[in-house]
Structure 1
Amino acid sequence: MSVGSIMKDPICLVENYKNDLRVNRKALNILETISQPVVVVAITGLCRTGKSYLMNRLAGHNRGFQLGCTVKAETKGIWMWCVPHPSKIDHTLILLDTEGLGDVEKGDSRNDSWIFALAVLLSSVLVYNSIGTINYQVLEQLHYVVELAELIRTKSCPSTEELNDSVEFATFFPDFIWTLRDFKLKLELDGQSITEDEYLEKSLKLVQGEDSKIKRSNDSKHCIRMFFPERKCFVFKQPTKDDDLLLNLEEASEHQLELIFQEQCQNFCSYIFTNAKPKTLKGGIIIKGSGLAVLVDSYVNAINSRKVPCLENAVALLAQQENAIAVQKAVDHYSEQMTQQVQFPTESLQDLLDVHAACEREAFAIFMEHSFKDDGGKFQLELLSAIEEKKEAFLLQNEEASLKYCQDELRKISSTLVESISKGIFFVRGGHNLYLGAKNKVEQDYALVPKKGVKSMEVLQGFLQSQESTEQAILHADKSLTNAEKHIAAEQAQKQAYEKKMKLVRKRNKMEEQKTEAQKKTVKENLIQLKKKIEEEGKIKLRESNTILEHLLKNQEKLRTEGLTKKSEEMNRTINQVKRNITIIEDNWVEKISGILILFGSMLMKKLPGYYKLIGVGTLLIGSIVTDICALTKAKSGGKKSD
């Protein structure tokens, strides 16, 4: 899909109608067509601070998002513009322009808070745009960041033992960029030049004091530091000294703008294009356009229901959608590969099962790559059932192809024999030996036919059985044989028929064993893939917990250096709680994997045809995998102790 051709202009994503938020279904439909990871840049800030101009520059245009050049704020709600990412292949850049905060025409300030919260929840980069320098007044105006702790929940049913929601914000909140427009100060400190980022960090230092103004300012600073580990600052000089041109910036050409302003805009855009990451949720879940549509709908529905948007609930909805898509992708891949690789009929059943195993393994890998939060393996079991059904269809198709091919070939080979029988050629003296020679010739010629497939013996057996009454009649009519010789010949024919029948039975039994073996491999492959997935999710969870701990310790050290000892000590409880969580994750991962594998294995075997035969095997497989995990863990723990 080419988003550039679809979105020549921005479209309203979330309409703010009389302080009530509404999702624009047309915008959601656009998002749902985007199957690429999305880099989402949202901009927020007070009214008439030039937010829309910066977003237009990111889109590569002078106009698009409407610029507010009068006292009336233009942007209402959240507007969206999807464009191909200029530097990341197979990514889409989504720009979100939010309505200005602090509009005096609004009657409900809570509405601003929800718009700000949505910008945070939906973006991978949040740009806060303001005029001039960072001072007490600007920081007080940014009280929306303090309210995020009340407006966003990470868990649907948090327990008293779990971390406070806001502690986990750092693991999934967007990068924070503060853009300062019409900046007139020199970037210097104590006579030394400082960078824009150093200016931002200096401005976010907490100061001591009990004054309410200081407290409000400190609250905003502290929340920015705690919620947004990745921070960046850009300053912009005034675009032009021409007041008339300022009112019509979208009409201005590059050469009409101040050179320093052009360079600053270019630096800002280049940074976004190079460093802005795809939208990622807690757990390392990378969001595509269709996923972003789910998040928008989920969050706005929660807000309109007077509830707090919950990340866990949104992820659960997203998982339902994405896991269903992952199942379909995997099944489609399996069907396509089987159709391409299998030439019916296959020489043997094992040939088909080998191709099946390889295609199934690829399908499982595709599912695992695109699925997440498949608690209990519900969707993995759906995939297994779908592939098993497809496999049975391919087995049946293979049998039918073999049956038709063998019947056609045998019909050609035996045509002379059948014609001779109908003409009575064998109903003469010595006719029985003549018949046996002709019949053996049919069997020999049939044996030379290549690639007969799984039904070759069965078709031959059927043909030979159809000849039994004819052979008896020919034997009975042969006057050259004595009764004793006829009796011996009849017994010999019965013995050969029995041997061929038993050979067919053995072949059928072997084929059933091959099918059972294939199902055992499926059980094992599913358990291995699930174990791998649980381990990966555990590593991500552990990494996020360590990130939180590192972030908390870093901020605690900042508080100490700023002389806020009491505030620093207050963080000890949270830090210790995170440390305990890390220990629990490290110690309990074996038990968690074992429990899930046993539960999943039981369900898995019940999904497979003939599962009663597999229960013992499956239990052994599960047990062996769990035993391997425990042995590995003991070895690791022993290694740690010896160290």
Structure 2
Amino acid sequence: MCIFNVNAELTMCLSPSVLGSLALTYVDSIRSGKIPCLESTVHMLSEIENTSAVTMASKAYSEWMEEQVFLPTETVEELSAIHNQCQSQALQLFMKQCFKDEDLRYQQEFMNSVAKIYADMCEKNMKKSLDISTAIMMDLGAAMKEKEKNGSYAKPGGYAVYVKDMDELVEGYRAESGKGVQAEKILQDFLEYKQQFSEHIRIFDESMSAREKELAAEREKAEVAEQERKGREEEQRAAQQRQEDQRRVMEENMAQLREKLEQDRIKLHQEHDRVLEQRLKEQEKLQREGFQTRAREMEKQIDSLKKQHKETESPSYLDRILDTAILILPVGYKLIPVGAKLVKHFWQTSFE
């Protein structure tokens, strides 16, 4: 239902539940002895409804993530896919309950809340992966550490034994599942940490020729460089996924905002038509009964309704809302504003 003031200007469109809450709030004001003001009552109600919408939708998102995510995830894409699904569902909840969020302040609060929860989940995912990968590496490396202590590598031929043990350790580490998104980083750190010890036993291995030592050093350097490359790729993939998540969240927000605007526009036009028809009948009755002055006053209301109807059909009407949506987005979500531009273009082409 839409409410109009005495000048036939649209005040708001209300759902049945919000209308009921508004009526109760209005009646409570009267009972308390206060002089009720519809505008202030609506403002107060919108704050209550929208704050509740942010809390409810954020809580739902958090609970769904906790239920569906098992840390650590093998890839950042796995966590991202769950996030996108939960965020979309939570946004639907928010959109369904939000009311008169004219500057989209509460939608921004919701997006910030989801972004923080997701960031915390990503951090937990990384930490869990670090802990598990480190534990696996320490377990697999226990035998080598014991050999280091008893000097098994510090004798002629010790370097060859060391290389064999290292190859088996790396192979065993890679074969372990459930390490998560920091697996390559831990292996990179381990190889870099072992470089100095490896160089030490290689230099003092009397069974190796100078050329063999030189070739071995080059091989180790290449292996470490390759692992560093894999570690960087792992970090870059995570960073790219975060940007992709931001883009998708923005597109989803704009898409659902577009859908809500379209629904409100349809309701608004229907209510405009209903009120306009009613006013025309009232004007006709006044003219028949000879109340020309009141009929002329009614004409002003009718003109105002027609003007509003025309304004809401204009692309600029929705442009202002969508432009505002772009401006209020959290900083991270402004990185790739493709979704908002596409939605804006949709409205322009739809109403031309």
Distance across 1 between alignment mates of 2:21 and 2:317: 31
Aligned residues of 1:523 and 1:605 also touching (Cα < 8 A): no
Richer in helix (by share): 2
Q: Secondary structure at the match of 1:345?
A: coil
Shift of 1:381: 0.3
Shift of 1:317: 0.9
Match of 1:630 in 2: 348
**Is residue 515 of structure 1 aligned with residue 246 of structure 2?**
no
Distance across 2 between alignment mates of 1:515 and 1:577: 48
Aligned partner (choices 207, 232, 236) of residue 480 of structure 1: 207
Q: Secondary structure at the match of 2:104?
A: helix
Q: Secondary structure at the match of 1:287?
A: helix
Distance across 2 between alignment mates of 1:467 and 1:292: 73
Shift of 1:596: 1.9
Aligned residues of 2:111 and 2:330 also touching (Cα < 8 A): no
Shift of 1:462: 1.6
Aligned residues of 2:108 and 2:330 also touching (Cα < 8 A): no
Aligned residues of 1:432 and 1:474 also touching (Cα < 8 A): yes
Aligned counterparts, 1:268-307, within 5 A: 282-287=12-17, 293-299=24-30, 304=34
**Is residue 533 of structure 1 aligned with residue 260 of structure 2?**
yes
Aligned counterparts, 1:227-266, within 5 A: none
Shift of 1:443: 0.8
**Is residue 445 of structure 1 aligned with residue 177 of structure 2?**
no
Shift of 1:541: 1.9
Distance across 1 between alignment mates of 2:350 and 2:302: 30
Letter in 1 for 2:6: N
Aligned residues of 1:545 and 1:582 also touching (Cα < 8 A): yes
- Residues 579 and 291 from structure 1, CA distance in 2 versus in 1: closer, same or farther, beyond 3 angstroms? closer
Distance across 2 between alignment mates of 1:516 and 1:404: 26
**Is residue 164 of structure 1 aligned with residue 12 of structure 2?**
no
Aligned partner (choices 558, 572, 594) of residue 319 of structure 2: 594
Distance across 1 between alignment mates of 2:30 and 2:262: 30
Letter in 2 for 1:633: F
Aligned partner (choices 273, 293, 315) of residue 42 of structure 2: 315
Distance across 1 between alignment mates of 2:102 and 2:12: 16
Aligned residues of 1:357 and 1:518 also touching (Cα < 8 A): yes
Q: Secondary structure at the match of 1:375?
A: coil
Distance across 2 between alignment mates of 1:487 and 1:292: 86
Identity rate of aligned residues, in percent? 26
Aligned residues of 2:53 and 2:97 also touching (Cα < 8 A): yes
Q: Deviations over 1:586-630 (max 9, x none)?
A: 2x2x21221221222122142x38x5xx1xx21x43333212221
- Residues 584 and 622 from structure 1, CA distance in 2 versus in 1: closer, same or farther, beyond 3 angstroms? same
Match of 2:118 in 1: 391
Letter in 1 for 2:317: K
Distance across 2 between alignment mates of 1:552 and 1:476: 99
Match of 1:26 in 2: none
- Residues 517 and 535 from structure 1, CA distance in 2 versus in 1: closer, same or farther, beyond 3 angstroms? same
Aligned residues of 2:311 and 2:317 also touching (Cα < 8 A): no
Distance across 2 between alignment mates of 1:534 and 1:353: 28
Q: Secondary structure at the match of 1:396?
A: helix
Shift of 1:401: 1.1
Aligned residues of 1:295 and 1:318 also touching (Cα < 8 A): no
Distance across 2 between alignment mates of 1:465 and 1:375: 55
RMSD value, Cα: 2.6
Distance across 2 between alignment mates of 1:574 and 1:596: 26
Distance across 2 between alignment mates of 1:477 and 1:502: 30
Aligned residues of 1:461 and 1:501 also touching (Cα < 8 A): yes
Shift of 1:299: 5.0
Shift of 1:456: 0.7
Aligned residues of 2:54 and 2:106 also touching (Cα < 8 A): yes
Distance across 1 between alignment mates of 2:31 and 2:270: 30
Q: Deviations over 1:393-452 (max 9, x none)?
A: 101111111111111122211211221222211222221111111111011111111121
Aligned partner (choices 269, 272, 275) of residue 548 of structure 1: 275
Letter in 2 for 1:294: T
The number of equivalent residue pairs is 348
- Residues 290 and 558 from structure 1, CA distance in 2 versus in 1: closer, same or farther, beyond 3 angstroms? closer
Aligned residues of 1:430 and 1:478 also touching (Cα < 8 A): yes
Letter in 2 for 1:539: I
Match of 1:581 in 2: 308
- Residues 290 and 557 from structure 1, CA distance in 2 versus in 1: closer, same or farther, beyond 3 angstroms? closer
Q: Deviations over 1:445-470 (max 9, x none)?
A: 11111121111111111222221111
Normalising by the residue count of structure 2, what TM-score does the alignment of the two structures yield?
0.90
Aligned partner (choices 328, 335, 338) of residue 603 of structure 1: 328
Distance across 1 between alignment mates of 2:350 and 2:312: 16
Letter in 1 for 2:26: L
- Residues 517 and 630 from structure 1, CA distance in 2 versus in 1: closer, same or farther, beyond 3 angstroms? same
Distance across 1 between alignment mates of 2:255 and 2:31: 39
Shift of 1:291: 5.3
Match of 1:501 in 2: 228
Aligned residues of 1:407 and 1:459 also touching (Cα < 8 A): yes
Letter in 2 for 1:548: V
- Residues 282 and 505 from structure 1, CA distance in 2 versus in 1: closer, same or farther, beyond 3 angstroms? closer
Shift of 1:313: 2.3
Structure index of larger Rg: 1
- Residues 459 and 551 from structure 1, CA distance in 2 versus in 1: closer, same or farther, beyond 3 angstroms? same
Aligned counterparts, 1:85-96, within 5 A: none
Shift of 1:318: 0.3
Aligned counterparts, 1:168-179, within 5 A: none
Distance across 1 between alignment mates of 2:90 and 2:188: 38
Richer in strand (by share): 1
